[in-house]
Chains A and B, each alone.
Chain A
């Protein structure tokens, strides 16, 4: 079985500041890891994914994440926040059973 813990349900950053969203996973087998973003009243949009290739993964909209096996982490970062980054972000893990297990989500607000 796999699970995800997202540290911090709310993160507030100033426009132009670093965005850091934390995700730790638990999995008994090598995982596939994903970050999704959800804007209000919308579905989930894939930001990036880790599938056992490079440990530093670049995604859309300037986001990237680093897989650290020793820390069982997959934290999401963006060097400079933009107002359009205000949304809810979900970390998810899957293995060979093909179901996604999601964290509880982190809401990002961006201050002007």
Chain B
């Protein structure tokens, strides 16, 4: 069974640019959630996708957007990058049968200069 994978591992962008992060969910999981983890803090919920539809969103501006594809993989897009967007971005997948137990990928480290 393949776990959650994310790409790229690391990314460096400059302020104002746009970035796309990718996530492949664990086999059999139809739900993907994205979290932002700033240095020294706990992860913060960005949004969740279930069967290609957004299924809840945290307190993040509209320049954070996402997609989920028919194979349940997902993308996180961030436009107009700001310095405070520098963080570890974590993707987690889950199924409907496990009380929303979420399994995390290794994360993408984004640095905005």
Contacts and interface: CB of A to CB of B under 8 A. Distances in A.
Given A99-B56, A99-B58, A46 B103 contact: yes
Interface string B76-108: 000000000000001010100001111111110
Interface stretch (B11-19, B42-50, B62-70): B42-50
Given A42-B107, A44-B90, A100 B102 contact: yes
B106 A43 contact: yes
A92 B104 CA distance: 13
A104 interface: yes
A31 to B, nearest CB: 10
A103 B42 contact: yes
B55 A98 contact: yes
A32 interface: yes
A102 interface: yes
B31 interface: yes
26 contacts: A32-B100, A36-B104, A42-B107, A43-B104, A44-B90, A46-B103, A46-B104, A49-B99, A49-B101, A51-B99, A94-B100, A98-B33, A98-B48, A98-B94, A98-B100, A99-B45, A99-B48, A99-B56, A99-B58, A100-B33, A100-B45, A102-B42, A103-B42, A104-B41, A104-B42, A105-B42
Interface of B: 4, 6, 31, 33, 35, 41-45, 48, 55-56, 58, 90, 92, 94, 99-107, 109
